[in-house]
Structure 1
């Protein structure tokens, strides 16, 4: 009755409101699949082979890291989802599409530190 009076839509939970699924379980992986898919889509649009490591790092830190921040401002991200997001970023930064074992000159943890905090200066990054 109230929905008809105020001309509102009726829906059953879970629904999306401002991009967040309301009524869903935030600890479930299915809750976060949309964010992971959005990051994968964004990565697919970037031409990794034309970017040097510095440019890749800038894209990861500025764009990919900001996609889940809106969700995380309201809901705590499960550790498994955080590992999946980090794996996407790692594969974009280090991966070359070939399935071979490589050695890296800089470890992943020092890449994420700020330069003032002793983080790695990656080629081409400033």
Structure 2
């Protein structure tokens, strides 16, 4: 905990214990995890987690990591589907909204071709 105190002292920033978490390897025994919890008052979380909207995971990339993007696309399209939009109106919505949603995540996580194809299918069904 000394390093957290030093961080606070040097930066004048306060560490929020409610928002702070720690991650340990699965092979770490529960006694050690509980010791860390009691020392720093943070909760232990398991992977995958989200940080700034981007999934943090261990191992191979799988489709379920991108499920939030698929859900977000479906919600947007479902809401727009009930509006009577012209072809050009739909095109503008896709270019301005749908294509900008995954940009940050795709810069940090390179999606597989199957993920890209699934997003394309969702967009194509909108037309």
Short-chain TM bin: 0.5 to 0.7
Q: 1:40: how far off?
A: 0.4
**In the alignment, is the contact (CA less than 8 A) between 1:14 and 1:24 conserved in 2?**
yes
TM-score (ref. length: structure 1): 0.64
Cα deviation digits, residues 42-70 of structure 1 (max 9, x gap):
11111355100111001001111111112
Measured on the aligned residues, the alpha-carbon RMSD in Å equals 1.9
Q: Which structure shows the bigger proportion of residues in helix conformation?
A: 2
Structure 2, unmatched stretches of 5+, are 1-34
Structure 1, unmatched stretches of 5+, are 94-126
Q: Which residue of 2 aligns with 1:79?
A: 113
Q: Which residue of 2 aligns with 1:115?
A: none
**Which one of the candidate residues 102, 108, 111 is aligned to 1:68?**
102
Cα deviation digits, residues 52-111 of structure 1 (max 9, x gap):
011100100111111111210101111111111111111112xxxxxxxxxxxxxxxxxx
TM-score (ref. length: structure 2): 0.63
**3-state SS of 1:77 partner:** coil
Q: Which has the bigger relative contact order, CA under 8 A and spacing at least 6? A: 1
